[in-house]
Amino acid sequence: MIENVKRVLIIRSGALGETIFALPVIEALRRQYGSDLIIDWIGAPAASALFKLDKRIHRVFHLRHRKLPVFLSSEKRAIIKHSEKHPYDLLINLESGRIFFSLAEKIAARHKLGMPYNQIRPLPSPHVIESLKTIYETAIEPSVLNDSYPVLYGDPSEDVRNAFRLPEHYIVINPSTSHHKKFTHRAWPSEHWKELIARLAPKYHLVVIGGQGEESFFNRLRPFDPSVIDLVGKTSLTQLITVIREAEAIITADTGPSHIASAVNTRTFALFGPSNPKGTGPYQTPNNDVHIISMQLECSPCNATPRIKTCLDNQCMKKITPSMVETAIEPYVTPKQ
């Protein structure tokens, strides 16, 4: 175990889900080395907005152009300069790409974990979170490591409920997998989402979420039933965390908000086809309730294999019907009064 750790720097500069997968390191470090531990984070601007209300993180360094080498990146040089003035006791690099090797090597820290110093330890059928934990397992006692999960902080509940006039009980609907930009095999067909919303709206309070710039995709699902609360493009990330946290359940595509839901312990119904939910799905803990809805076809999962390149019809997602989803959620949600 590493002694006298007061200052830690973590490198994790990925998308929303990738950042959430890394979050257990924060609580593990604080439980191991004390709540007064200074933790800084290097991350992508959009994903690192997760830390806006997280007082456990002292400072976030943004990397807008992560692929730039150190000599071309003013952001990376500023991080290195900061570390020289305020050396870290521990650097944890949770990125495996070579583009981060030179940055990790130049940062001033007494101890360094992660690539290129140590690799992820192979595990049988691991979730990404469990794999990432093997990078820093030598710095954390096993009992602490095993009981560390993602934690997220959103805006105050009353503020968000009042701002968006949220009912007491509601279901969040999260259709987008950013396939408004390009096709993805993870997408559930738009006509399925439209049918599901139409089936559920008379029975339940629904809140539809989506990001800014996704209007063209959501216009294919509109018009919604007048009772549906449409929050597409209307929430900040910390407001979105609270909208999901306050929900009775979420029905979601295989994308970032599904990981927010599992982290804030909202009952999650996630639609999966080509991806392996055991590896990259919403992380299941003793505190949450995750339901994977999948056809479990013989050809699934195929993501990151040659097979997906030959898939022309996306049957693993198309064969999940709106009625199947409706049946799955019925025992767990509160109908309109």
Q: Give the E-state strand segments of the chain in sequence order.
A: 7-11, 38-43, 59-62, 88-93, 109-114, 171-174, 206-208, 229-230, 249-252, 267-271, 290-293
The rounded distance, in Å, linking the Cα atoms of 101 and 91 is 12
Chain centre to alpha carbon of residue 310:
28
**CA-based radius of gyration for the chain:** 21
Scanning 50-148, the segments in alpha helix (DSSP H) are 74-85, 101-106, 128-133, 142-146
What is the CATH T-level fold of the domain 7-146, as seen in this structure?
Rossmann fold (3.40.50)
What amino acid occupies position 291? H
Any idea where the domains of the chain sit in the sequence? 7-146, 157-332
Per-residue pLDDT of the chain (337 residues; tens, 9 = 90+): 899 999 999 999 989 999 999 999 999 999 999 999 999 999 999 888 999 999 999 999 999 999 999 999 999 999 999 999 999 999 999 999 999 999 999 999 999 999 999 999 999 989 999 999 999 999 999 999 999 999 999 999 999 999 999 999 999 999 988 655 566 777 899 999 999 999 999 999 999 999 888 888 899 999 999 999 999 999 999 999 999 999 999 999 999 999 999 999 999 999 998 888 999 999 999 999 999 999 887 777 767 667 767 776 788 889 999 999 999 999 999 999 8
Give the SS3 label for residue 171: strand
The rounded distance, in Å, linking the Cα atoms of 263 and 331 is 22
**Length reported for the chain:** 337
Specify the pLDDT at position 320: 95
- Closest by CA to 69, choosing from 36, 98, 38, is 98
Query: pTM for the complete prediction?
Result: 0.94
Query: What CATH number was assigned to the domain covering residues 157-332?
Result: 3.40.50.2000
Q: Which residues pair with 173 in a beta bridge?
A: 208, 251
